[in-house]
């Protein structure tokens, strides 16, 4: 049994069809920021709307928050442009991971880049094998590939037994964006 005070950088995955993946990751950042830990986020998808978390992130000195995606792919008419955005997001993520400056990095919706074949999960795992020992990584998004979940220390799969959208209730400010 290892000592409970031992520091270990974990790989956490929040996946599944239910709501709460990105917000679970942001909840951990809230906790970490309270501990004075330097945090980073790279968002691989950018929706039409500004989100509350992006606005708030600008006010927090210990948080670097990058939105690198070029729009929801299903809104986009240019897949090459989205691929380019995903590759740039990964370059930024890689720099941050290897910089040694952060204690936690969230790769938000990176699973979409895997899904569209813009980024290989193996490439991400290779970079994670070179990361600083005490850096925690959080991956979010639906349909996380098993090669990633197999390597993870924690996997939470969020189901969707109910969602207001199914009853025709639109996204609510503060709850969804």
Binding residues for ligand ATP, rule: CB under 6 A, are: 17-23, 109, 140, 142, 160, 163, 165, 171, 176-177
Residues near Mg ion (CB under 5 A) are 21-22
In the complex, least distance from residue 23 CB atom to ligand ATP, rounded to whole angstroms: 3
Q: Which two tokens stand for residue 16?
A: 């599944």
Judged by CB, which is closer to ligand ATP: 20, or 71? 20
In the complex, least distance from residue 121 CB atom to ligand ATP, rounded to whole angstroms: 18
**β-strand partners of 157:** 15
Judged by CB, which is closer to ligand ATP: 54, or 87? 54
Under 8 Å CB-to-CB from 88, ≥6 apart: which residues? 68
Judged by CB, which is closer to Mg ion: 134, or 156? 156
What's the burial of 79, exposed, middle or buried (CB within 10 Å: 0-12/13-18/19+)?
exposed
In the complex, least distance from residue 17 CB atom to Mg ion, rounded to whole angstroms: 11
| Angle, in degrees to the nearest 10, between helices 79-99 and 121-128 | 10
């Amino acid at each position: 049994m290892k000592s409970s005070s031992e520091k270990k950088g974990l790989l956490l995955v929040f996946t599944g069809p239910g709501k709460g993946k990105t917000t679970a990751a942001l909840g951990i950042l809230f906790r970490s920021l309270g501990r004075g830990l330097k945090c980073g986020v790279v968002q691989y998808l950018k929706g039409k709307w500004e989100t509350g978390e992006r606005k708030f992130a600008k006010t927090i000195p210990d948080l670097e928050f990058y939105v690198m995606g070029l729009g929801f792919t299903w809104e986009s008419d240019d897949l090459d442009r989205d691929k380019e955005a995903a590759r740039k997001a990964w370059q930024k993520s890689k720099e941050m991971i290897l910089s040694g400056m952060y204690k936690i990095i969230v790769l938000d919706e990176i699973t979409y880049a895997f899904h569209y074949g813009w980024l290989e999960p193996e490439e991400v795992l290779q970079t994670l094998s070179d990361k600083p020992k005490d850096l925690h990584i959080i991956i979010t998004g639906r349909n996380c590939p098993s090669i990633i979940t197999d390597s993870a220390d924690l996997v939470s799969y969020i189901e969707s037994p109910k969602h207001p959208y199914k009853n025709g209730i639109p996204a609510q400010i503060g709850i969804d964006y």
